[in-house]
Structure 1
Amino acid sequence: MTEAEIRWKLRSGRWQRPMRGVLVTHSGPITNIQMTWAAVESIGVGAVLGGASAASFDCLRGFDGGPVVVLVDAARHVARRLGVIIRRSRHLGSDDVYPRRLPRRLPRRLPRRLPRRLPRRLPPRTRLPRSVVDIANWAQDEDDARAVLAAAVQQRLVTVAELHRVVERRGSLHRNTLIIDTLSDLGDGAHSVAEILYRKIENHYGLPAAQRQKRIDADGNRYHLDIWYETWQVWVEIDGGHHREARQWWNELARQNAGVLQDRLILRFPVHLLRTQPERVADQVATTLRQRGWKPNL
């Protein structure tokens, strides 16, 4: 086609140009996948999706949405694109990037970025472990950084070892200490941000170390206890958003009742209390443990 023909297609509305150097050859709404392709192709060779934009194609739940994030080599100068966040990196080798790849498996509910029928080709992007570490490193606050690391492991999309390898390759990061500490906690069995926060309360206020996600048999069923002090038979339960679902709520009540019948003393805290009033949580747990015979090291 000649340039005149292309200009006519654009003027008449038959085609669209969402970004410099990219043409969409239809007049209908531009899909999210088309916009991510447009961002990558507009920036050119070596550009890849990163962070949440990349992770959404690998089925990470709860972190999709927002502007398209594109990674380029640190030496490149790239002009701004509307609706695109451009980040630079010195580490974009084959260990961190795969060019075109379909998701390993599809979740029951696809992220909002993905249509029900996936195209045969998806944009080049960072591998999921790299994407997760980048999201944590770029997060607005520390809780968000911990949340994405815990979510990726909890959803069984990545392992702690895979995330550790990314951090080692990257070298010093903006949130290097927080990421390493969080991965250490996750590797020890803390599978949620709430449990990580509780571990910090234990360390700061001198509480004994509890078992995490302890499996017990009670009332003919098998349960997991969030925080379990076996010596003193004290169980600490941390309530997050998932406890609001009716079926989950009843399961929690049945589990709690079974624990009471076996002489387990149960304390329950909302997750926000661990963030906002850690001293109150520590005081109540310490008082309960002392009532059951714990003697703190003075």
Structure 2
Amino acid sequence: MSHRELARERAERLARSQGDAVSRRQCLTLGMTPRQVEWLVASGRWRMVFRGVYITHMGPVEWLTRASAALLACGDGAALSHASAARVNGLTDRDPPGVEVLLPAHRRVVGRWAVVAALSRRGRHRWGALLGLALVDVADGAESVLELRYVTGVERSHGLPAAARQRNSMRAGRRWRDDNAYEQQRVLVELDGRLGHVGEGAFRDRSRDNGALLDGWVTLRFGWQDVTQRPCLVAADVATVLRDRGWTGRLRRCGPRCKLDAAAWVKT
């Protein structure tokens, strides 16, 4: 077993002792490289739940895993409190609706919505409006620049319905995480960056697509060039499949230079 494999094994062993959650700092301390951690996330083996905190499986996230991840995200001195503390200490077997964490008086952790609020107070921030929209999309599930570009440049600007982001599913006996799932029409849109979609990653993509088809889902795949250079044509492709599967909405032009003929997309 290579040094990299041993380091990953140590990290995943530690994660199992922490409710399947592990921090980036812990991974690096155990000998993993930053690139190795990034690859595990990009390839769908691990998922990032907070900045620098990962869950080492793609299945349903239990409350105890969420609690462990929250403690790792909050850092040194954090402790569960109130109903959360009662749950982990066996005083109740009911999962609380959220995770309550206490911090030492000298420390402060700002949540993602507080980041949006802080940004809104800086009225003269040059990119304030754009950053605000991006943070909202990230909170809704978009996890990469490519996914954000799809949400804003393809889906929203052309009047497509909003997909479910990073949807967990079970197909062909395996758990998968779908980038964009139009659940009513059973259409998946997967966005392929280079990392995780070559070699073994390409084989997993085929397995994912085949399993989706057997379950009645259609998969469309687009890369960086498609989404950034040809967003109007991507929107047209997605709209065509959605309409074939019952979508009754109307595709719209994204602006005066849009490459779509909007009239052709009015539902008759």
Matches within 5 A, 1:122-201: 155-156=52-53, 160-161=112-113, 163-164=115-116, 166-168=118-120, 170-200=122-152, 201=154
Deviation, structure 1 residue 173: 1.7
- Determine the C-alpha separation between the residues in 2 that align with 1:154 and 1:267: 29
Q: Which of 198, 201, 207 is equivalent to 2:160?
A: 207
- Determine the C-alpha separation between the residues in 2 that align with 1:170 and 1:160: 16
Q: Which amino acid aligns with 2:139?
A: G
Matches within 5 A, 1:31-180: 105=26, 107=28, 108-109=32-33, 155-156=52-53, 160-161=112-113, 163-164=115-116, 166-168=118-120, 170-180=122-132
Q: Which amino acid aligns with 2:236?
A: D
- Determine the C-alpha separation between the residues in 1 that align with 2:216 and 2:173: 16
Q: Which amino acid aligns with 2:142?
A: A
Structure 2: which 5+ runs fail to align?
Answer: 1-23, 36-47, 54-72, 74-109, 251-265
Q: Which amino acid aligns with 2:33?
A: R
Counterpart in the other structure of 1:8? none
The count of corresponding residues between Structure 1 and Structure 2 is 157
Deviation, structure 1 residue 246: 2.2
Say whether residues 1:289 and 2:213 are aligned partners: no
Larger CA deviation: 230-239 vs 195-204: 195-204
- Determine the C-alpha separation between the residues in 1 that align with 2:116 and 2:198: 34
Larger CA deviation: 255-264 vs 279-288: 255-264
Counterpart in the other structure of 1:250? 203
Could you report, residue by residue, the CA deviation over 1:5-32 in whole angstroms, capped at 9, with x for unpaired residues? xxxxxxxxxxxxxxxxxxxxxxxxxxxx
Q: Which amino acid aligns with 1:182?
A: A
Q: Which amino acid aligns with 2:238?
A: V
Q: Which amino acid aligns with 1:160?
A: R
Say whether residues 1:239 and 2:225 are aligned partners: no
Checking the alignment, whether the CA contact within 8 Å between 1:236 and 1:268 is kept in structure 2 is yes
TM-score, normalised to structure 1's length?
Answer: 0.47
- Determine the C-alpha separation between the residues in 1 that align with 2:191 and 2:34: 28
Return the index of the structure with the highest Cα Rg: 1
Higher relative contact order (CA 8 A, sep 6+): 2
Deviation, structure 1 residue 202: 1.4
Q: Secondary structure at the match of 2:157?
A: helix
Q: Secondary structure at the match of 1:241?
A: coil
- Determine the C-alpha separation between the residues in 1 that align with 2:111 and 2:205: 28
Counterpart in the other structure of 1:278? 231
Q: Secondary structure at the match of 1:227?
A: strand
Counterpart in the other structure of 1:144? none
TM-score, normalised to structure 2's length?
Answer: 0.52
- Determine the C-alpha separation between the residues in 2 that align with 1:220 and 1:175: 45
Q: Which amino acid aligns with 1:247?
A: E
Deviation, structure 1 residue 269: 0.5
Checking the alignment, whether the CA contact within 8 Å between 1:153 and 1:191 is kept in structure 2 is no
> Over aligned residues, Cα RMSD in angstroms?
2.8
Deviation, structure 1 residue 164: 2.9
Counterpart in the other structure of 1:216? 169
- Determine the C-alpha separation between the residues in 1 that align with 2:246 and 2:219: 16
Could you report, residue by residue, the CA deviation over 1:159-193 in whole angstroms, capped at 9, with x for unpaired residues? 52363355356553221111111101001111122
Could you report, residue by residue, the CA deviation over 1:93-114 in whole angstroms, capped at 9, with x for unpaired residues? xxxxxxxxxx965632259xxx
Q: Which amino acid aligns with 1:186?
A: V
Structure 1 residues 281, 161: closer, same or farther in 2, change over 3 A? same
Deviation, structure 1 residue 278: 0.5
Q: Which amino acid aligns with 2:220?
A: L
Structure 1: which 5+ runs fail to align?
Answer: 1-102, 112-150
- Determine the C-alpha separation between the residues in 1 that align with 2:49 and 2:121: 19
Structure 1 residues 223, 104: closer, same or farther in 2, change over 3 A? closer
Q: Which amino acid aligns with 2:173?
A: G
Checking the alignment, whether the CA contact within 8 Å between 1:153 and 1:159 is kept in structure 2 is no
